[in-house]
Amino acid sequence: MLHSGMVLALHSRPMPGVVHLLKGRCPRCGQGRLFLSPNPYNLKKMLIINPRCSHCNLNFIPEIGFYWGATYVAYALTVAFSGFTFVVSTLLFGFMNSLSLTYVWVNAALLFFISPLSFRFSRVLWLWMFWERD
Ligand SMILES: [Zn+2]
């Protein structure tokens, strides 16, 4: 059983969670933004990652080429998204219709429009997996 003081201590230092991950926040404090622009569809600034957390000063770029590995995450997200759209297409239009070229083009268009989100989320997830705890 938790002592009430322990509960207060837990509340005073909240751990970053899934919500912070989805919002693209710092994996250590959950406050600072990883990306300069909060809008992923701001195409001029969508690629710019802040060098450090504005709240806890965590280094967001630990080494040159750190985010290259995020391409594997983006690939996995693309495959998962395509699997999801295939299941939805099969439920709506049947299996044989989902094997058509129409499905491929619609899926490609959807992937194009979510690519800024996929780009950002893959980098955020990569940082959350491999940031240096000290
Ligand atoms: Zn931070």
Q: Assign 14 a pLDDT band (cuts: 50, 70, 90).
A: low
How large is the average pLDDT for residues 85-93? 95
Percent of the chain exceeding pLDDT 70 equals: 90
Report the separation in Å between the CA atom of 115 and the middle of ligand 1, taken as the mean of its atom positions: 26
Q: Reply yes or no on whether the pLDDT at 2 is more than 50.
A: no
Q: Assign 35 a pLDDT band (cuts: 50, 70, 90).
A: very high
Report the separation in Å between the CA atom of 114 and the middle of ligand 1, taken as the mean of its atom positions: 26
| DSSP for the chain, written as a single string | ---HHHHHHHHHSPPP-HHHHHTTB-TTTS-SBSBS-S-TT-TTTTTPBPSB-TTT--BS--STTGGGGHHHHHHHHHHHHHHHHHHHHHHHH-HHHHTSHHHHHHHHHHHHHHHHHHHHHHHHHHHHHH----
Report the separation in Å between the CA atom of 25 and the middle of ligand 1, taken as the mean of its atom positions: 8
Q: Assign 13 a pLDDT band (cuts: 50, 70, 90).
A: low
Q: Reply yes or no on whether the pLDDT at 7 is more than 80.
A: no
Report the separation in Å between the CA atom of 64 and the middle of ligand 1, taken as the mean of its atom positions: 20
Q: Residue 97's pLDDT is what?
A: 86
